[in-house]
Amino acid sequence: MQKIAIKKYTFNLTVFSVIIAALTIIVQLVIPEYASPALPFIVLFFFIISLSSLYIVLRNKQTQFVSSYLLSRIIKLFACMLFLVIYVLSNKQDGFRFAFAFMMIYFLYAIYEVFALKGEKNK
């Protein structure tokens, strides 16, 4: 069951990421003055981080689900903050646009992850 859950989640996450990437490309084409050039890399970053947190959560037993979920959220939050701070400090002229886009995509992935994992654990 766990391998099926991982494959299903990975597929759904890939589809979700492709949709978000397409939306970021559209934003870059329609309103380039408000879009960070790093938008596609933000989506790639969140895809990798979300996939990593999936393995932390789904590899543990049912009794450890809450602990592993909270651990994955903390690791994800610190990784995101570190990535955001490094980028903003190294690229100050794109900092605000990047930070805004980063936070919007962070919340989209957080909402997606909650619904995806909740649906998986209710089965």
Render each residue's pLDDT in the chain as its tens digit; 123 residues.
455 577 888 899 999 999 999 999 999 999 988 888 888 899 999 999 988 887 777 776 666 777 777 888 888 889 899 999 999 999 989 889 999 999 999 999 989 988 887 765 555
Distance from C-alpha of 83 to C-alpha of 89, rounded to nearest angstrom: 10
What is the residue whose two structure tokens read 């766990």? 2
- Crossing angle of helices 2-30 and 39-58, in 10° steps, is 170
Q: What is the pTM for the complete model shown? A: 0.82
Give residue 1's pLDDT.
Answer: 42
Give residue 40's pLDDT.
Answer: 87
Whole domain around residue 60: which residue ranges?
Answer: 2-121
Angle at 76 between CA 83 and CA 94, to 5 degrees: 25
Tally of structural domains, the chain: 1
Residue 59 in tokens: 């590899």
Distance from C-alpha of 84 to C-alpha of 95, rounded to nearest angstrom: 9
Angle at 36 between CA 33 and CA 41, to 5 degrees: 150
